Amino acid sequence: MGAFNTLGLRRVSRPAIVQHWDDMARMAGSLSTNRVRAHDLIRMMTSSGRLTGLGNAFAHYGRIFKTLHLLQVLHVEEYRRMMGAQLNIGESRHNLARRVFFGNLGRLQRGYERGMEDQLGALGLGLNAITWWNSLYIDAAVKKLEAGGLGISPEIRARLSPLLFEHINFHGFHPFHRPDLGGGIRELRDPADHEEEE
């Protein structure tokens, strides 16, 4: 076992899982169909700060997947790469959210629940609008490059992200008007043409 001998390892109790399997399946079904709130399910798994028999069964069941995850992290390089890519995507999303939320520096300033919900809703709207806008124009740019004879490989496509924001001005007045584009998008800017920037 080597370095594993120094870890505080816990065993999976199959009898605990088997004993509560039917209840576990019912709980999973209730959660996925929204018949029961997650808060109520958590209360069913704990009592006075301790796990109930059902909660203990879920804990043992979770150890199976935790063990599989750790083994893959240790031995499968492709799995580690996938994890890194997912973490990068998550961090990109958080960076964009912080930029959209720049005025309050990421802090909710409303002292009441409805006000906080409004702030979060506006933040979500801003994030979704930027992601949608970027997706449209990334797709248009890829199609234009391919029409010009430059193929974009699946590996490069997989690394394109709509969570970029360097081209967006987050300061000042933001008018919302819809230009008449005839159902299309604006003409893509040619990077070699500097007159527009000047």
* Contact of 130 with 100, CB cutoff 8 Å: yes
Give yes or no: residues 120 and 56 share one domain.
Answer: no
* Contact of 78 with 87, CB cutoff 8 Å: no
Give yes or no: residues 11 and 53 share one domain.
Answer: yes
Give yes or no: residues 82 and 147 share one domain.
Answer: yes
pLDDT at 195: 53
62: in domain: yes
95: in domain: yes
Give yes or no: residues 57 and 86 share one domain.
Answer: no
Interval 69-95: pLDDT, tens: 888 888 888 888 888 877 777 788 888
* Contact of 110 with 123, CB cutoff 8 Å: no
Distance, in Å, from the CA atom of 96 to the CA atom of 131, rounded to the nearest integer, reads 10
pLDDT at 123: 80
> 3-state SS of 116-174?
HHHHHHHHHHHHHHHHHHHHHHHHHHHHHHHHCCCCCCHHHHHHCCCCCCCCCCCCCCC
Low-confidence ranges of the chain (pLDDT < 70): 1-9, 102-116, 119, 172-176, 178-179, 181, 183, 194-198
pLDDT at 71: 85
Give yes or no: residues 56 and 129 share one domain.
Answer: no
Which of 25, 55, 75 is where one domain is finished?
Answer: 75
Domain that holds residue 86: 77-159
> Whole-model pTM above 0.85?
no
Structural domains counted in the chain: 2
